[in-house]
Chains A and B, each alone.
Chain A
Amino acid sequence: MDIATLMFSALYQFGDAFAFLVLSACGLAVIFGMMGVINLAHGEFIMCGAYVTASTVHAGLPLPLAIMTGAIVAALVGALVELVVIRHLYDRPLDTIVATWGLSLIATQGTLIMVGSTMAGVGTPFGSFQVGDYSYSSYRLVLFASALGVLGGLYMLFNWTRFGVLARATIQVPHMAAALGVDTRLIYSLTFACGAGLAGLAGGLYAPTMTLVPTMGATFIMEAFVTVVIGGADVFLGTAPAGGVLAVVKSAMTSWQGQLFGQIGLLVAVVIVVRVLPKGISGFLLRERT
């Protein structure tokens, strides 16, 4: 095997890990960064997106449309959850964790009761391609592109649109934004729905690559939490670089010792980073800037 194929293999694995970390974390990061709320039901929103995607594909919808449907349904569920539960807990962040955990229990077990222990999956599209001696799944490249697309889309949403300006004003000084006539409650609702929708999108995108079980959310949340903890409160200065750094750690450890050690590597990285940079990468970058 020559050096070029080796390079490609490493890059491919990095891209795969990066896409997984960023896609599973960005919904959580939006909600946490904007509202300071940790949504422990994040994995269940991902599961919701994946289930809706799979069932609409079975109903005959093409995959891209099905993924969009999954994201939209997850966003609607998110808006409902915000209205019923989260809204009452903004001044008690620890209780939000507990309440969303209760929601996650209900969702996991409820899905198990209603849909059963597994659901027919969706085949991975696009086949594979060959580089050197190994063949790679083309769909993973789509996922990598989607991760970049989501980051770009979020950047545009929060910097170029009126909603983005109002949302950032609301995070910065909530009562000042309210005094200037911004409906902060609506902003919070929309932000939470946006985060839930992103989770649904991640679920939809990964639905063709994994088995659909009610506990599939748990596969994502550890990576998502780790990325958000390391990244800190800012999506662009935090989640993206954290995803990059962690993807290196994860893909290196995975190709060296296997999947599990990839995850252990992530955990060790987190424990060290919180000791050195308690506010995450974005906290570090923002401090340097000012």
Chain B
Amino acid sequence: MNGFLAFFRRLEGPQTVGRGAAFWIVFAIVLAIACAYPLISDGYTVGNTVYFFIWVFIALSLCLIWGYGGSLSFGQTAFFGIAGYSYGILTLNFGSAYGFTWMALLLAIAIAALFALVLGYFMFFGRIAGVFLGIVTLAVTLMLERFMAQTAGPEWHIGVARLNGFNGMSAMPPLTIPWPGGDIVLFADIGLYYAVLGLLVVVYLGLRILMNSAFGNVIVAIRENPERAEMLGYDVRKYQLITFVIGAALAGLSGVLYTVWGQYITPSSMGMTAAALPLIWVAVGGRSDLTSTLIGTLVVLAAFQALTIYGSQYALVFMGMLLVLTVLIAPNGLVLSVMNLISRLAARRSNGDA
């Protein structure tokens, strides 16, 4: 029982912003609103919100690798695409009976993680770090896009699943829960909303625990000073590789959910622009904290969508400017700066009371 409690005590700690009753009360209120949201909204908006949530996973994965681990990876979209395509290939071949879709989800994530393991082995055990890591992962991502884009011919198929080149794959089955008296199909509205929201809460809290555990502290120590961490006896390469693989699995989860949501996946989901967007969310939100990444991602996504509707082609220019300005003016991220300000004010006030 004690160990159980100690486990949950890791929800708060030095590596995550937000602690104490006030934070968790706000968290509970937000969660309650999120749960009640489909009741007061229409199916389309709920489906759109699911779309936002799906991107949070890839943002969190980048936050883990880049913000906490200190290695900038452009490969998240590659893992996203690999998992998305794997899900499509698996479900188109084996159907969706007996809840196989969840099995396919896990397998697709495992494939993405395996790919990251191989790539990460070469990179981290070759001791490339810093800018080179970014370049190699970017090259891998672009390569994958080009490879998938040229698979238009009928000779490119795995089982019965055609890869379809630049048009991408489509018509894969949505997630289903096997149920006596007819499977429950999670279409891209309320059903999928609760499934994704549940996953999001689990992943967010899980990452909080992970980052405040001994493992997370070592990861941050490596970011701050790799030589010192190594001198203290930690195998830096192994820790970095594990972080990279966890991040890849999260990005893969994002990819599978994206495929499930729209029932399609295209090579351009791995292209330059697709790879840039998660970076913008995480940088603007504040890469060194999970909560700010989560908030930043949702805010920037909503703003981006509004801009796309009203300003169509200027949206990407604006996003680029936002990124450059964030890096120049608020390198820690806009949301994180605001959050730090709030907690400092709160601390001052409680000091004044005492």
Interface of B is mostly: helix
At the interface with chain B, which of A3-11, A59-67, A104-112, A138-146?
A: A104-112
If A94-B130, A102-B323, A109-B320 touch, whether A275 touches B122 (CB-CB below 8 Å) is yes
Contact of B132 among A92, A104, A229, A267 (CB under 8 A): A229
Within 8 A of B (CB), among A93-135: 93-95, 97-99, 101-106, 108-110, 112-113
Q: B142-153, CB under 8 A of A: which get 1 and which 0?
A: 110011001000
Does A285 lie at the interface of the complex (its beta carbon under 8 Å from any beta carbon of B)? no
Q: From residue 256 to 290 of chain A, which have CB atoms closer than 8 A to chain B? A: 260, 263-264, 267, 270-272, 274-276, 278
Check A92 against B317 for contact (C-beta < 8 Å).
Answer: no
B138 contacts across to A, CB distance below 8 A:
40, 225
Determine if A102 and B136 form an interchain contact, defined as CB atoms under 8 angstroms apart.
Answer: no
Q: How far is the CA of A6 from the CA of B227 in the complex (A)?
A: 53
Q: How large is the interface on A (under 10, 10 to 19, 20 to 34, 35 or more residues)?
A: 35 or more
CB distance from B322 to the nearest CB of A (A): 8
Give the residues in chain B near A110, CB-CB below 8 Å.
Answer: 317
Q: Which residues of A contact B203 (CB under 8 A)?
A: none
- Contact of A162 with B by CB under 8 A: no
* B342 interface hit (Cβ, 8 Å): no
B328 touches A101 (CB 8 A): no
Interface residues of A in 72-107 (CB under 8 A from B): 85, 88-89, 92-95, 97-99, 101-106
Chain A 206-235: CB-based contact to B (< 8 A → 1; otherwise 0): 000000000100100110011011000000
Q: Interface SS of chain A: helix, strand, loop or mixed?
A: helix
Chain A residues, Cβ within 8 Å of B83: none
* Residues of the B chain whose Cβ atoms lie less than 8 Å from the Cβ of A272: 122
Whether B324 is near chain A, meaning CB under 8 Å from some CB there, is: yes
Cα(A248)–Cα(B280), bound, Å = 38
B134 within 8 A of partner (CB)? yes
Among A36, A89, A102, A229, find the residue whose CB has the most chain B CB atoms closer than 10 A.
A102
Of the candidates B136, B143, B328, the one whose C-beta lies within 8 Å of that of A263 is B143
The smallest C-beta distance from B70 to any residue of chain A, in angstroms, reads 8
A38 CB within 8 Å of chain B:
yes
In the bound complex, residues from chain A placing their C-beta under 8 Å from that of B119 are 271
B131/A274 in contact, CB under 8 A: no
Stretch touching chain A among B14-22, B177-185, B271-279: B271-279
Q: Which residues of A contact B (CB under 8 A)?
A: 32, 36, 38, 40, 85, 88-89, 92-95, 97-99, 101-106, 108-110, 112-113, 215, 218, 221-222, 225-226, 228-229, 260, 263-264, 267, 270-272, 274-276, 278
7 pairs from A and B in contact (CB 8 Å cutoff): A88-B328, A89-B328, A97-B134, A98-B279, A98-B323, A101-B279, A229-B132
